[in-house]
Amino acid sequence: MLRIDPGLHGALRSAAHAAATSLNEYCARKLASPGAWLDEEASGLIGRAAWLLGESLVGVVAFGSWTRGESRAASDFDVLLIAEECVPITRELYRRWDSKPVLHWRGHEVEPHFVHLPSKGAIPSGTWAEVATDGVVLHERGLEVSARLAGIRGMISAGRISRRRVHGQSYWVRAG
């Protein structure tokens, strides 16, 4: 028997349901797969997201300076917390996140960004283009996040969106 945070249990149960398998089978597969052993910081981050969003948690993706290898001592650790469309993205989500102790990732304070997945085929925002380029999926349900990120990378490859730089700052533009 293993005791885990109820929020993480809910996220695992939801992922098992999405994979059309039992919770035990899903956990056994995850434990046997490469990268399954999350460290304490990753588990804490995913557990907090699961506690907050429950079965509405679609994914957790790290992005920004840390994933690009450009972080400095004062940098934060940016993370997308992806919720189902039925969950409104409000200040209340951030208040609830902030009601718990500050989380850290490798010495950097975790900075949450609550989002919904962009619509399939729609031109994504610059944030999603950045995440597709150098984001790291820490948790997802049923490969939904990875599939959407692959679609965005396809748009970038096809030239439908592109990155530009001005004064050392990058931004994304749509073709045309």
pLDDT over 70, % of the chain: 91
The residue ranking higher by pLDDT, 14 or 65, is 65
- Which of the four pLDDT bands, split at 50, 70 and 90, describes residue 29? low
The pLDDT assigned to 12 comes to 78
79 and 44 Cβ atoms separated by less than 8 Å: no
pLDDT tens digits along 56-112 = 999 999 999 888 888 888 889 999 999 999 999 999 999 999 999 999 988 899 999
Task: Give residue 73's pLDDT.
Answer: 87
Q: pTM to 2 decimals?
A: 0.77
DSSP E strand boundaries for 64-176? 77-83, 104-105, 108-115, 136-140, 161-166, 169-174
Task: Name the residue with higher pLDDT: 33 or 46.
Answer: 46
Per-residue pLDDT at 31: 61
Contact indicator for 63, 135 with CB cutoff of 8 Å: yes
